């Protein structure tokens, strides 16, 4: 079942990248402490204590990440404790994610565990215009005393 899913270039991109060979494997015997920044496709079977930035990550059932993850695509079978910001996320039935998840395309299989906030990111959305908020409260904030009913 897809949530926040659009059948557009994101899905096509993921299919193209998924056919590429994995360029980096962190085996289940490895425990890495520190940040990882990679290009291409990587697979984690071991444990990473630190933030990860990259293009396409496969986290296996034995894989664990304790840190924030910023990716183009994430295929998660393992455990992530930290915030995730990825254009495409697939949480398989064995996945356990704790933290804020932001994605334009999220798929969650039955059995997957998600604990935290989920935000839909629209890659085509323009940034909001900057300006002062409207209202008559402190610092331009609207409070109960400053609200008025719309009367005709």
Look at 56-60, 93-97, 108-112, 131-135 and tell me which has the smallest mean pLDDT.
131-135
- Judge whether residue 10 has pLDDT over 80: no
Separation between Cα atoms, residue 34 and residue 43, nearest integer Å: 16
pLDDT for residue 27 is more than 50: yes
pLDDT at 3: 52
Domain ranges of the chain: 2-145
Alpha carbon separation from 117 to 1, 93, 99, 123 (Å, rounded): 19, 19, 6, 19
How far is the CA of 3 from the CAs of 18, 68, 80, in angstroms? 20, 22, 19
Contact by Cβ (8 Å): 88, 104:
yes
Q: Express each pLDDT in 61-81 by its tens digit.
A: 999 999 999 999 999 999 999
User: What local confidence, expressed as pLDDT, does residue 117 receive?
Assistant: 95
Length of the chain: 152
Q: What is the pLDDT of residues 97-128, one digit of tens each?
A: 999 999 999 999 999 999 999 999 776 554 44
Kindly report the average pLDDT of the chain as a whole number.
Answer: 80
């Amino acid at each position: 079942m897809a949530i926040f899913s659009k059948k557009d270039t994101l899905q096509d991109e993921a299919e193209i990248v998924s056919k590429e060979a994995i360029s980096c494997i962190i085996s289940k015997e490895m425990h890495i402490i520190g940040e990882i920044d990679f290009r291409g496709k990587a697979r984690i079977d071991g444990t990473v204590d630190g933030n990860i930035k990259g293009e396409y990550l496969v986290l296996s059932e034995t894989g664990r990440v304790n840190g924030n993850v910023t990716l183009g695509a994430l295929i998660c079978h393992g455990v992530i404790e930290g915030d995730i910001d990825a254009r495409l996320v697939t949480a398989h039935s064995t996945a356990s994610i704790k933290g804020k998840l932001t994605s334009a395309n999220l798929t969650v299989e039955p059995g997957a565990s998600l604990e935290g906030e989920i935000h839909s990111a629209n890659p085509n959305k323009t940034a909001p215009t900057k300006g002062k908020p409207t209202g008559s409260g402190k610092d331009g904030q609207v409070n109960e005393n400053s609200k008025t009913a719309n009367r005709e």
